[in-house]
Amino acid sequence: MLTWGKESLIKQWHKCERGIIIAGVTQPQNPEKYCRAIGRISQLLNWPVLAEALSPVRNYASLNPYLISTYDLILRNQQLAEQLTPEIVIQIGDFPTSKQLRSWLNKTQSKRYIIDPTYHNLDPLHGNTIHLRTSVENIAAIFPQIPSLNPAGEILLSSISKGGFLQLWCDAEAKIRQAIDGKMAATNSIIEPKVSWLLSQILPPQTPIFIANSMPVRDVEFFWKPNNLEIQPFFNRGANGIDGTLSTALGIAHRYRSSILLTGDLALLHDTNGFLINNKFVGHLTIILINNNGGGIFELLPVAKFDPPFEDFFATPQNINFDRLCATYAVDRELIDRWEKLKQKLNPLPTSGIRVLELATDRKFDAKWRQEQFLGL
């Protein structure tokens, strides 16, 4: 039962023109109902939805017309970041991966409401936060029950005012999304960032995808394109998030439906004995292996300029022949050297077995590409 002043609070939100909704890290039992509730709140308040790629919101784009997927890149423009400062923030679920978003919110010190029915601490910033221990579906259902907001008993949608707060967000999203799409489409070489961008458009509808930590989860947040494919993202986040990457993905796919694991080489190597389930596994798992021979995420840190000790103690290249490694476990492996070939292998997906589709990349080149093309905005 809700015990807080719900009607008063929602009226307060409705009066605020500079509000944002953050659809954070979560795995709801009913993704469509969850996304529909967020979309309803967004449209009734005229607030943008900053959607983390580890939530289902980006995969139900038609339900969220004010969806913002490029917030990390938008907020790298300091002038624009100041113009987009909100007065109120509604956070749904756990906080997004983006360090840029965290730093920006910490600086703005906006009043923040966390909507989540659990008693977990979902405020890593320890800011000006009120935790509403209920579901976003319950919140969405309350809106039409407030007759004082208009004579009909419903909050009417209003158009985006030209030059207004919501328009600024939507214009920035359109501009950067167009830039991402254009540069990705024009890139024929095999680079890490394009993998996430491409997967968001070519996977079969409702495909479960487990996303490994380090660079894959960040590339997904940066570049995963909004779609209506109802793709199901899965993940292990936290201090030991690299543990059990392969085993977790196999557990998701077992007796469920054909699934994807997007992983780097180190995360896969950390759990290769998960392949031992091969003779008992029922279903299909395609492992998209981004092999950059090391920890690509560390290439974005200042320590990458100091070698030694960078290669041996941070990048930690293992120089593994994955063809031989997979053969040890009787798992098929294939090298992908063209984007068209990857498209052909992923749609449709097989219905049984485990296979590895390996993309060999250059982590130093990819880090430089990210920085020059987008992260230096």
Q: pLDDT band for position 155 (50/70/90)?
A: very low
Does residue 108 sit in the same domain as residue 193? no
Residue type, 195: V
49-98 pLDDT, tens digit each: 999 999 999 999 999 999 999 999 999 999 999 999 999 999 999 988 89
Residue 182 in domain: no
Does residue 107 sit in the same domain as residue 143? yes
Residue 158 in domain: yes
Does residue 159 sit in the same domain as residue 218? no
- The least confident of 53-57, 238-242, 271-275 is 238-242
CA angle 367, 377, 363 (to 5 degrees): 5
What does pLDDT average to over the chain? 90
Average pLDDT of span 237-250? 84
Cα separation, 35 vs 63, in Å, equals 7
CB 104 within 8 A of CB 122: no
What pLDDT is stored for residue 3 in this prediction? 44
> SS3 for 333?
strand
Last residue of a domain, one of 121, 146, 172: 172
Does residue 233 sit in the same domain as residue 143? no
Last residue of a domain, one of 143, 172, 201: 172
Does residue 115 sit in the same domain as residue 69? yes
What pLDDT is stored for residue 10 in this prediction? 86
% of the chain with per-residue pLDDT over 90: 75
What pLDDT is stored for residue 243 in this prediction? 87
- Count the domains in the chain: 2
108-124 pLDDT, tens digit each: 989 999 999 988 888 88
Residue type, 111: K
> Which CATH number belongs to the domain containing residue 107 in this structure?
3.40.50.1220
What pLDDT is stored for residue 240 in this prediction? 63
Does residue 278 sit in the same domain as residue 363? yes
Does residue 192 sit in the same domain as residue 324? yes
Does residue 137 sit in the same domain as residue 200? no
Q: pLDDT band for position 1 (50/70/90)?
A: very low
The whole domain housing 111 covers: 6-172
Q: pLDDT band for position 4 (50/70/90)?
A: low
Average pLDDT of span 145-168? 58
User: Is residue 162 pLDDT above 50, yes or no?
Assistant: no
Q: Is 272 exposed, middle or buried (0-12, 13-18, 19+ CB in 10 A)?
A: middle
371 or 178, which is more confident: 178
Question: pTM of the predicted model, to two decimals?
Answer: 0.91
Positive or negative, the CA dihedral 62, 69, 206, 92 is: negative
β-pairing, 232-234 vs 208-211, is: parallel
Residue 27 in domain: yes
User: Is residue 265 pLDDT above 90, yes or no?
Assistant: yes
Does residue 281 sit in the same domain as residue 312? yes
Does residue 114 sit in the same domain as residue 245? no
Among 255, 236, 258, 257, which Cα is nearest to 245's?
A: 236
8 or 66, which is more confident: 66
* Residue ranges of E strands in the chain: 19-23, 49-51, 67-68, 88-92, 111-115, 129-132, 208-211, 232-234, 259-264, 284-291, 332-335, 353-360
What pLDDT is stored for residue 153 in this prediction? 39
Strand partners, 286: 260, 355
> Which CATH number belongs to the domain containing residue 231 in this structure?
3.40.50.970
Does residue 258 sit in the same domain as residue 208? yes
Cα separation, 41 vs 44, in Å, equals 5
Cα separation, 255 vs 226, in Å, equals 28
Residue 33 in domain: yes
Give Cα 261 to chain centroid, integer Å. 14
173-217 pLDDT, tens digit each: 999 999 999 999 999 999 999 999 999 999 999 999 999 998 999
In angstroms, what CA-CA distances link 252 with 207, 256, 261, 302, 348? 11, 7, 10, 36, 19
Among 245, 40, 240, which Cα is nearest to 139's?
A: 40
